[in-house]
Amino acid sequence: VQLQASGGGLVQAGGSLKLSCAASGRRFSISSYHMGWFRQAPGKEREFVAGITWRDDITNYADAVKGRFTISRDNAKNTVYLQMDSLKPEDTAVYYCAVQRRATIPIAKNPNEYRSWGQGTQVTVSS
Instruction: Quick: pLDDT tens for 50-106.
Output: 999 998 999 999 999 999 999 999 999 999 999 999 999 999 999 999 999 999 999
Which residues, 6+ apart, have CB-to-CB distance to 85 below 8 Å? 16, 68, 69, 70
In this predicted structure, the answer to whether residue 13 has a pLDDT above a threshold of 90 is yes
Which residues, 6+ apart, have CB-to-CB distance to 95 below 8 Å? 5, 8, 19, 37, 38, 39, 49, 82, 120, 121, 122, 123
pLDDT of the residue at 50: 98
pLDDT of the residue at 106: 95
In this predicted structure, the answer to whether residue 16 has a pLDDT above a threshold of 90 is yes
**Reported confidence tier of residue 118, pLDDT bands at 50, 70, 90:** confident
In this predicted structure, the answer to whether residue 4 has a pLDDT above a threshold of 90 is yes
Average confidence score pLDDT of the chain: 96
pLDDT of the residue at 6: 98
